[in-house]
Structure 1
């Protein structure tokens, strides 16, 4: 069965796009068929996959507003060997247009149903806010992967996000759960990092991925070459971390772990 994951956190700069691009490439490296859905008008996941967002004829905007079929908008990331449903600035207009459309929270869900059978994994790169696009992602996915830095304000943002996930679980998408929390830009020498990490384990237990993504120059450089870090520098710590994360996600799926709804005191 196709697994659909939204990579979400309303806080910007936590590594959502980096995670989408590099996890997609790492899953492909383990022989999985992957679709990356760019749901951010900035189009960073599109560019980071080596696709020029300014030259696109059709994007996810056209699909969400019923002007094109999903299959006609798919492009291939030559570097990462996965498919991309690309985005650019046009997507900003979709937010407004979707408000007056029927089933506005389920537009993406209907789109993904057209193509889901062709993939093992679909990853959705969400914008850094809880808007109509993010709502569509949360209504369409099975689980949320939350990348976060281990810093003081991150915990505050996390509890707001969990509140939203709980609401959507109750109202729109009963299968929605927290798939996992990914610690990014991780520096174990920092005492605050260790404190926040300990709190995450206390509240979320094995929902916290064992894999941590370290601060890594190669990981930061790769997007400017339109490549996943696995292609840019396979030996880098960033590449090794995302391969490990892919392995962890696949193992969890095979074991059917983490299928219970969210109950955490942080959510209240």
Structure 2
């Protein structure tokens, strides 16, 4: 039986080799940065001050654990604001003569920041249930649609993972591909995935510091989830999700709820 990457997983192999590193060549024309996905006509929700996280980084890394057991309790709006800012927010400005850069919470290939952060909100104090889009540079939320998304639909969209529907929020990372690929070509697709990983790690560490539970969600129905979030399938793709809420257990084993993986 073959055990080679190339023959056993031909699609993955084709992607890997098709995006292999090659010498960079200057494009014939320099593309301008692609704008964000802001909608000035959408209802606007400014974010309040957040919640300080005093736990040292090594403590956050040590305490982090995937949580699949949430209690039916809302998280606060300041906690939610903290998650968004630490996940993919702005951290300051570097203004050094000709250099003016808005600093962000994660590194990004070429400083292009191709990701967008949408949120399915089920239970946040002071924020009606619905779907929202985070706008980092304005530090607020655009309301995409009103009303709670049925739990059965959320579970379906995340391939039968019931904890996605039970969490207070599900944060969904998507990528506007042209922002990266216009500069880096096909290899830019790798950079989208790397950046999504940076953001997801920030989110789970922030949740840990807030004594919330979090679990990353890599399995979902791409087209259907994109439709729910009102994304343009031709230009913006869903990459990753993170469910966050109040854990139903104080110990690591209880939070993991490994028995639910068998059901």
Highest CA radius of gyration, 1 or 2?
Answer: 2
- Answer 1 or 2: which has greater strand percent: 2
Q: State the TM-score, normalizing by the size of structure 2.
A: 0.29
Q: Which of the pair is proportionally richer in helix? A: 1
Q: TM-score, normalised by structure 1?
A: 0.28
